[in-house]
Amino acid sequence: MTQAFRIENGGLINKDKKLSFKFNGKTYFGYEGDTLASALLANGVHLVGRSFKYHRPRGFFGAGVDEPYAVVQLYRNGETEPNIKATEQELFEGLEAKSVNCWPSVNFDIGAINNFLKIFLPAGFYYKTFMWPKSFWYRIYEPFIRKAAGLGVASTKHDNERYEHKYEYCDLLIAGSGPSGLASAYAAAKNGAKVILAEDKPRFGGSLLTSDVNIGNQSGKDWAEGIIAELKKMPNVDVKNRSQIFGYYDHNMLVMSEKVSDHLPSTKKYHPNKRLWYIRAKEVVISSGSIERPIVFGNNDTPGVMLSSAAKEYLKVYGVLVGRKPLVFTNNDSGYETAIEFKKHGVDPVVLDSRKNAESEIIDEAKNLGINIKNSHVVVAAQGYKKVKSADIASISEDKKQLGKIENIQCDCICVSGFWTPTIHLASQSGNKTKFKEEIDAFVSGQSKQNEITLGAANGVFSLDETLKTSFKAGSELSKKITENDNEIAIPNVVEKKSSQHDKFWCVPLPKGKNYKRFLDFQNDVAVSDVEIALREGYRSIEHVKRYTTLGMATDQGKTSNLNGLQLVSEIENKVVPAVGHTTFRPPYTPVSIGAIVGREVGKHSKPTRKSPMHEWHEKNNAVFVDAGVWLRPRYYKKGNENLFEASKREAKNVRTNVGVCDVTTLGKIDVKGPDAAELLNRVYTNAWLKLPVGKARYGVMLREDGIVMDDGTTTRISENHYHMTTTTAQAANVLSHLEYYLQLVWPELNVNVVSTTEQWAGAAIAGPKSRDLLQKLFPNSDVSNEGLPFMGYIEGDLFGVKARIFRISFSGELAYEVNVESDYGNFMWEKIIEVGEEFNIQPYGTEALSTLRIEMGHVAGSELDGRTIPFDNALEGLVSKKKDFIGKRSLQRSAFIAEDRQRIVGVVPLDKQTSIPEGSHLVKDDKAPLPNPKLGHISASCWSVEYDNPFSLAILKDGKNMIGQKLFAMSPLKNKVIPVEIVSSHYVDPKGERVRS
Amino acid sequence: MLYINCPHCGMRSQNEFSYGGDASVKRPELNKEVSDQEWDNFVYNRKSLRGKHLELWQHISGCRQWIKVERDTATHEIFRTFKADEEVA
């Protein structure tokens, strides 16, 4: 197929490289340097989608980030991405895209019936209609609306692309590479400042690429290219294209999304798809330019109606004519510039100017070229369904209320210019108030809140000469503050045509008897009539009008519609625009891929994976691992065809009968050193610590100030002023911060140092009736008898030449020891234990067996210490000192904490001794009681008791102390289970604790 | 993201710190009789100030020191930072 609308000469595309691409299944050709939009327009394709609500045909409206219509589903290298603006997507060989929001096809869309029903689909239609009956919402309305509405479809496949994050610091960050960005970057760079210049488009230069100006005897485009080439050579400058600064956050942190690979058929090896930059800048220059706004008229959404600046860009950058019979409708001189470009390429445009008289150099040029100009004329309505075929035009009275006789003229596109809206998003996100500038009928940034300055068109300055002068100056001054250099820059001479004042006119009145839809927001199908309804129904705040009508929402965020919406509201409300105000400009300025925001932190990289020194041994011995915080721990060691249940039962049984070994490296360990270490422990733990002798361990519970248990563990006195504290795996980091808080802020007089030693020690718990025999063989020179190493004793030993710490502590409730060696010897220790333990039938056991052992002993763990329980609830009140003060003690006097029927830990056994009780089940008195059934407690942990060979659970139960022997029901609506149970003591096995002392 | 001047390390991004609440709260002395009201005020009751606020941060991924930060809760402006034992004038 030929590119019928491509001009012979002109454009910045590379005509030597032809690219083929597919749109809606049909193959077309474009050139390197095209966007999908320009390539389609070159082929005469104007119909690209259907509108959101009425499914009206949609074409191209802009040529960049402001595009409200041409949103497509993109297919690239086996992946698909929704909501891509065709005006931003660069063409590559083999690109495939499809229209969205139409079914079965863009040419014949069943949803377009909404267009004829539009009288029934006014603002707030969904809110009003689908409220009733309530039960219809989930089953009928919601699924229907979901299917009918929405734009693209997200992929459900794993995204194989890689996204990176980068942190950067600079002196000057410059957002936008138009004249103001280039001038300020250049001046700052010359002063030696570290500069980052960001441009969202592939080409640098902004408006200079399309404007007919002369800077220092060069065209604007050539001047821009020269500056960029020079900047690229400077080591202190980073020049980034395809990079959109989309958010301005606190303390001059800005975030930029760099499209690294989107313009290529596939991502290069080792390259990311996108890179997200977090940039901390000393100074920020907002040179984001301005966006042309439309004039509102009847059927102004018809394909072929587009911004005049977009038509000019397609012609000058891409060498594409958007039509051969263009009608230019303008209220200012910009429309003439577009008309002149058409004329220069042999196309005869008609210009309708809403102004009665206007004189300027630009208009003179148009007149000299013989362009047909009609003053005091407007487009009343576009005609044509899938493409503009003609326009109804009329003269308009000076007060813009009366239309003259309507005549129809042939045209194939309508290029509309309603003047320019500065892009103040970043300035507003910085925290600046905005102010309304009457001369340009738009908002500009008020006083800077952070170290930033807005320059050029973004600041409502449309004269190139003035922009360059202020921007060179700003770049010099801002960088001088930082680098203290003050290099003079010769400001080039500028030749530009002077323009005249624009007309404060934005909406064409409806002719008598006509009911054309006049759209304000093209992406969301918000028409003038919708805003009128919202106001009639009492919505006053502009934020409410926005949400009720959806004006300014969705992927373009109303870049072309906001101001006209405000004009309308102010007109109806009889207010001035600044009194109506505007909706908040929130980041992101443009849609950002979720992948870019997430970066590398996906899958396994979402958190660090920590492994014990014995990890490889576990792997070799068929360990099945489980995540324990950031650690990987063996859950069980699979033998043959065993499942989790069978393996953990075997492992736990072996501990109760022989001896087992468990990797406990992951336990948090904190070294506590200093003359006041005992005093610190005494204040942190609920029990007494001042008299603990050297060589002894003690179990301790620590509270938060609100009386809730924070953590538990044993702490051992290694020497006079040195303690070894252990914490649970999960709370290790919090406990360290907690200790640091008290030492640094509350009791700085205590002479104590704390440091984490979790990773310095590898730990193995040796548990079971044969553990002492094994220990004796491991440490033949140490006295590990009950007298030599009694329960809660500590000695140092020699493990085949390796220094080891031996603690006689037990979590399993059996006779047990914990051996620690320096991490590097962890595997050596483990292999020795296994090797020597063979004759005692040693087996390694994982966290599942560990849980079983502790549950049937009634030892509490994370599932009971869940941030809601006090010592009493865990049957730990015996550890709460009555004599001394400690963190959280005062809170234990709260009335709820001393209530007679306070919750407490109990054991739970199913009456049938068969059915395992799901963790999280509720305990209730009456299983038939109406919902919500009063909850008495919950099952915190469940296991299969290897001692009694039946299920056993722990529960936190209201008035638990007096409930022993009661029959209740454990209910799990999630698992659809109701289990009759009996409440027993939480100490199910060895209630007197004789084994640990044996 | 805030940019916090750690008095020990210099300017660092907020993601190196963890927030620790109102720095003006003083823990009642140990072994001292404390009324319910006083204890409640210490544990639970906080003013949710709009404006200048002295707060605690810990440089958790840095020097691990707890520091005091004078910050405007509305604008996020940080006026001064102090070491834990520094008197706030």
pLDDT tens for A563-607 read 999 999 999 989 989 988 888 899 999 999 999 999 998 888 888
What is the reported pLDDT for A686?
98
Any idea what the Cα angle at residue A272 is, between residues A267 and A277, rounded to 5°? 140
Tokens of A506: 């934005």
Specify whether the CB–CB gap between A164 and A187 falls below 8 A. Answer: no
Percent of chain A exceeding pLDDT 70 equals: 95
Residue A167 has pLDDT above 80, yes or no: yes
How far away is chain A from the Cα of B37, in angstroms, using its nearest Cα? 11
Band of residue A558 on the pLDDT scale cut at 50, 70, 90:
confident
Strand partners, A281: A170
Per the CB < 8 Å rule, is A741 touching B66?
A: yes
Residue A684 phi/psi, 5° resolution? -85, -40
Which among A245, A247, A246, A276 has a CA at the least distance from the CA of A260? Answer: A276
Mean pLDDT of A168-185: 98
Band of residue B89 on the pLDDT scale cut at 50, 70, 90:
confident
- Put simply, whether A252 touches B (Cβ < 8 Å) is yes
What is the reported pLDDT for A874?
97
CA dihedral A81, A83, A85, A88 (to 10 degrees): -40
Which CATH entry fits the domain spanning A607-666+758-867: 3.30.1360.120, 3.30.160.270, 3.40.50.11540, 3.50.50.60?
3.30.1360.120
Q: Within 13 A of A542's CA, how many CA atoms are on the CB side?
A: 23
Kindly provide the b/e burial profile for residues A282-301, where b requires at least 16 CB atoms within 10 angstroms of the residue's own CB.
Answer: bbbbbbbbbbbbbbbbbbbb
What is the reported pLDDT for A615?
98
Mean pLDDT of A780-803: 97
How many beta-carbon contacts under 8 Å exist across A and B?
53
3-state SS of A819-865? EEEEHHHHHHHHHHHHHHHHHHCCEECCHHHHHHHHHHHCCCCCCCC
Residue among B14, B64, B78 with most chain A CBs within 10 A, to mutate: B64
Which CATH entry fits the domain spanning A899-997: 2.40.30.110, 3.90.230.10, 3.40.50.300, 3.50.50.60?
2.40.30.110
Percent of chain B exceeding pLDDT 90 equals: 94
**Residue A184 DSSP label:** H
More confident call, A452 vs A548: A452
Domain spans of chain A, in order of start: 14-113, 118-148, 163-290+422-495, 294-418, 607-666+758-867, 899-997
**Chain B residues within 8 Å of chain A (Cβ atoms):** 1-3, 13, 18, 20, 27-28, 30-31, 34, 39, 42-44, 56, 58, 60, 64-66, 75-76, 78, 84-85
Per the CB < 8 Å rule, is B13 touching A280?
A: yes
- Cα separation, A219 vs A225, whole angstroms: 10
- Put simply, whether A449 touches B (Cβ < 8 Å) is yes
Mean pLDDT of A741-753: 97
A163-290+422-495 and A607-666+758-867: identical CATH topology:
no
List chain B residues with CB under 8 Å of A431. Answer: 75
What is the reported pLDDT for A292?
97
Gap between the terminal Cα atoms of chain A: 92
- Put simply, whether A748 touches B (Cβ < 8 Å) is yes
- Cα–Cα distances in angstroms (integers) from residue A925 to residues A145, A605, A858, A971, B19, in the given order: 45, 46, 23, 10, 43
Per the CB < 8 Å rule, is A251 touching B1?
A: yes
What is the reported pLDDT for A116?
59
Q: Indicate the average pLDDT of chain A.
A: 94
Per the CB < 8 Å rule, is B56 touching A745?
A: yes
What is the reported pLDDT for A55?
80
Residue A90's CB is within 10 A of a number of other CB atoms, namely 20
Tokens of A559: 């870049």
C-alpha A51, offset from chain centre:
28
Residue A120 has pLDDT above 90, yes or no: no
Q: Complex ipTM, two decimals?
A: 0.98
Residue A933 has pLDDT above 60, yes or no: yes
**How much is the CA Rg of chain B, to the nearest whole Å?**
14
Per the CB < 8 Å rule, is A250 touching B1?
A: yes
Mean pLDDT of A119-146: 60
CA dihedral A355, A357, A362, A363 (to 10 degrees): 100
- Put simply, whether A601 touches B (Cβ < 8 Å) is no
- Cα separation, A527 vs A264, whole angstroms: 38
What is the reported pLDDT for A86?
96
pTM of the model: 0.90
Tell me the residue length of chain B: 89
Mean pLDDT of B21-49: 95
Peptide bond between residue A932 and the one before it cis (omega within 30 degrees of 0)? yes
Of B44, B58, B85, the CB nearest to A748: B85
Spatial CB neighbours of A929, under 8 Å, sequence gap ≥ 6? none
Tokens of A727: 């914490």
- Cα separation, A602 vs A219, whole angstroms: 48
Q: What 3-state class would DSSP assign to A427?
A: helix
List chain B residues with CB under 8 Å of A734. Answer: none
Helix then strand then coil, in percent of chain A rounded to 5, is 25, 30, 45
Per the CB < 8 Å rule, is B66 touching A745?
A: yes
What's A14-113's CATH class? alpha beta
Band of residue A552 on the pLDDT scale cut at 50, 70, 90:
confident
Q: Within 13 A of A805's CA, how many CA atoms are on the CB side?
A: 21
Residue A627 has pLDDT above 80, yes or no: yes
Mean pLDDT of A726-744: 96
How far away is chain B from the Cα of A752, in angstroms, using its nearest Cα? 14
Band of residue A290 on the pLDDT scale cut at 50, 70, 90:
very high
What is the reported pLDDT for A56?
86
Mean pLDDT of A667-678: 98
Specify whether the CB–CB gap between A89 and A242 falls below 8 A. Answer: no
Band of residue A54 on the pLDDT scale cut at 50, 70, 90:
confident
Among A469-473, A547-551, A941-945, name the one with the lowest average pLDDT.
A547-551
What are the start-end ranges of the H helices in A587-643?
A: 594-598, 615-620
List chain A residues with CB under 8 Å of B84. Answer: 744-745, 748
3-state SS of A693-715? CCCEEEEEEEECCCCCEEEEEEE
Residue among B46, B66, B75, B81 with most chain A CBs within 10 A, to mutate: B66
Among A34-38, A108-112, A366-370, name the one with the lowest average pLDDT.
A108-112
Contacts with B, A 389-448, CB within 8 Å: 431
CATH superfamily assigned to domain A163-290+422-495: FAD/NAD(P)-binding domain (3.50.50.60)
Per the CB < 8 Å rule, is B30 touching A885?
A: yes
Place of tokens 């202190």: A236
What is the reported pLDDT for A554?
79
Of B18, B43, B60, the CB nearest to A706: B43
**Residue A658 DSSP label:** S
- Beta strands B78-83 and A709-719: pairing type? unpaired
- DSSP string for A249-265: EGGGEEEEEEESSTTSS
Spatial CB neighbours of A28, under 8 Å, sequence gap ≥ 6? A1, A20, A21, A22, A39, A40, A43, A45
Helix (H) or strand (E) holding A644: helix A644-657
CATH of domain A294-418: 3.50.50.60
Residue A487 has pLDDT above 60, yes or no: yes
Spatial CB neighbours of A6, under 8 Å, sequence gap ≥ 6? A42, A319, A320, A321
* Residue in chain A lying closest to B74 (CA): A431
What's the pLDDT tens digit per position in B66-81?
999 999 999 999 999 9
Of A737, A744, A884, the CB nearest to B84: A744
Strand partners, A346: none
CATH of domain B3-25+38-83: 3.30.2270.10
Band of residue A241 on the pLDDT scale cut at 50, 70, 90:
very high
Mean pLDDT of A197-202: 98
How far away is chain B from the Cα of A966, in angstroms, using its nearest Cα? 37
- Cα separation, A848 vs A652, whole angstroms: 9
- Cα separation, A123 vs A547, whole angstroms: 10
- Beta strands A79-85 and A163-175: pairing type? unpaired
Mean pLDDT of A374-393: 97
**How much is the CA Rg of chain A, to the nearest whole Å?**
38
Specify whether the CB–CB gap between A294 and A330 falls below 8 A. Answer: no
Q: What 3-state class would DSSP assign to A326?
A: strand
Band of residue A281 on the pLDDT scale cut at 50, 70, 90:
very high
